[in-house]
């Protein structure tokens, strides 16, 4: 019997998840069906339960539902707890289990696919919202020399750093505090690129950096990546690798088999020009 999975979001027509999971299923010879569901803004919980009750095995969760799906889960695994959000659910009888693979997907893409080690490096993350929150624990697990979170609202970055200080040291600051600082890896976890805007980061943070990573994907050379390129950063990447890698982690969680990711990342990559 074919097992059913889905991604839920609003809007959802743009989602690459059905293509990604269909490719994974074909690779690994898994008998499953994966669809996209546009969840009602005022009825997410009922829609998720209806899918589960109709035999659904699991769901990916995307904007704007990651927090609400987390709240409705009966069981929250550590990464979801620390992120305060979920991007994947598993249905087991009457249980709804939540995990979060965004951060590990990002770290896997940086280290496995791009070949940039994080251990002992100085890492700067721009933004202190949900995307940054989901990535912190996997980044800190790699033992960077320094991990700095910069945000327009400094208080938000400070609160995030205080919450995650136990797994590893984090420095919180505003963009103005970055003047004179240098980093090996710079990650843009703000939503600025979705509006074709540039976070107010000084170009000097890129001096000597080996990688500039844009979490948004499919946008080409965003203002953030263009600034990094002009500063001489040799390696630029957008979030398509993170997208595929987090999907692979969910697939392993659901199916117990790991798909190959690199050919799919190459297929989905939009040239950065």
What is d(CA 24, CA 8) in angstroms, rounded to the nearest whole number? 19
266 counts as catalytic: no
What is d(CA 117, CA 20) in angstroms, rounded to the nearest whole number? 26
Tell me: pLDDT of 169 over 80. Answer: no
Structural domains of the chain ordered from first start: 3-100 (3.40.50.10860), 103-238 (3.40.50.720)
What tens digit of pLDDT does each residue of 183-222 get? 999 999 998 888 889 999 999 999 999 999 999 998 999 9
Report yes or no: 147 and 140 within 8 Å, Cβ to Cβ.
yes
Tell me: pLDDT of 168 over 70. Answer: no
Single pTM value for the model: 0.93
What is d(CA 248, CA 13) in angstroms, rounded to the nearest whole number? 21
pLDDT of residue 150: 97
pLDDT of residue 149: 96
What is d(CA 260, CA 245) in angstroms, rounded to the nearest whole number? 9
pLDDT of residue 42: 93
Structure tokens at 146: 């320094």
What tens digit of pLDDT does each residue of 56-99 get? 999 999 989 998 999 999 999 988 998 888 999 999 999 999 99
pLDDT of residue 167: 58
pLDDT of residue 207: 95
Report yes or no: 206 and 233 within 8 Å, Cβ to Cβ.
yes
What is d(CA 151, CA 129) in angstroms, rounded to the nearest whole number? 9
pLDDT band at 26 (very low <50, low <70, confident <90, very high): very high
Angle at which helices 130-140 and 154-163 pack, to 10 degrees?
40
Q: Which residues contact 14 (CB under 8 A, 6 or more apart)?
A: none
Between strands 75-76 and 88-92, the pairing is unpaired
Could you tell me which residue, 253 or 273, shows the higher pLDDT?
253
pLDDT of residue 166: 58
DSSP helix/strand/coil, 101? coil
Q: For the chain, report the end-to-end CA distance as a whole number of angstroms.
A: 45
pLDDT of residue 199: 93
What is d(CA 149, CA 128) in angstroms, rounded to the nearest whole number? 7
DSSP helix/strand/coil, 75? strand
Structure tokens at 57: 């095995």
Structure tokens at 266: 């190459």
Catalytic residue among 66, 90, 156, 266: 66
Sheet with 122-126, edge to edge strand ranges: 171-173, 146-150, 122-126, 185-188, 211-214, 236-237
pLDDT band at 134 (very low <50, low <70, confident <90, very high): confident
Transcribe 32-70 into DSSP letters: EEEEEEE--TT-HHHHHHHHHHTTEEEEEE-TT-HHHHH
What is d(CA 113, CA 133) in angstroms, rounded to the nearest whole number? 22
Tell me: pLDDT of 175 over 90. Answer: yes
pLDDT of residue 99: 97
């Amino acid at each position: 019997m074919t097992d059913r999975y889905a991604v839920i979001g609003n809007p959802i027509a743009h989602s690459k998840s059905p293509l990604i999971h269909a490719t994974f299923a074909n690779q690994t010879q898994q008998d499953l069906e994966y669809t996209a569901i546009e969840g009602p803004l005022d009825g997410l919980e009922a829609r998720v339960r209806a899918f589960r009750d109709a035999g659904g095995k699991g769901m990916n969760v995307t904007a704007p539902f990651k927090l609400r799906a987390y709240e409705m889960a009966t069981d929250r695994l550590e990464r979801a707890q620390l992120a305060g959000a979920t991007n994947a659910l598993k249905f087991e009888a009457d249980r709804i289990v939540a995990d979060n693979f965004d951060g590990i997907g990002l770290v896997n893409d940086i280290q496995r696919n791009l070949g940039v080690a994080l251990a002992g490096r100085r890492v700067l993350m721009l933004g202190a919202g949900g995307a940054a929150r989901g990535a912190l624990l996997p980044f800190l697990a790699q033992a960077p020399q320094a991990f700095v979170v910069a945000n327009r609202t400094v208080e938000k970055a400070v609160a995030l750093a205080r919450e995650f200080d136990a797994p590893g040291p984090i420095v919180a600051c505003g963009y103005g505090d970055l003047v004179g600082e240098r980093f090996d890896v710079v990650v843009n976890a703000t939503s600025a690129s979705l509006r074709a805007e540039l976070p107010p980061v000084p170009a000097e943070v890129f001096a000597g950096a080996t990688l500039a990573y844009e979490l948004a994907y499919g946008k080409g050379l965003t203002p953030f990546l263009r600034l990094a390129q002009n500063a001489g950063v040799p390696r630029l990447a957008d979030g398509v690798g993170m997208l595929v890698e987090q999907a692979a982690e969910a697939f392993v969680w659901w199916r117990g088999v790991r798909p190959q990711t690199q050919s799919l990342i190459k297929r989905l990559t939009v040239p950065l020009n």
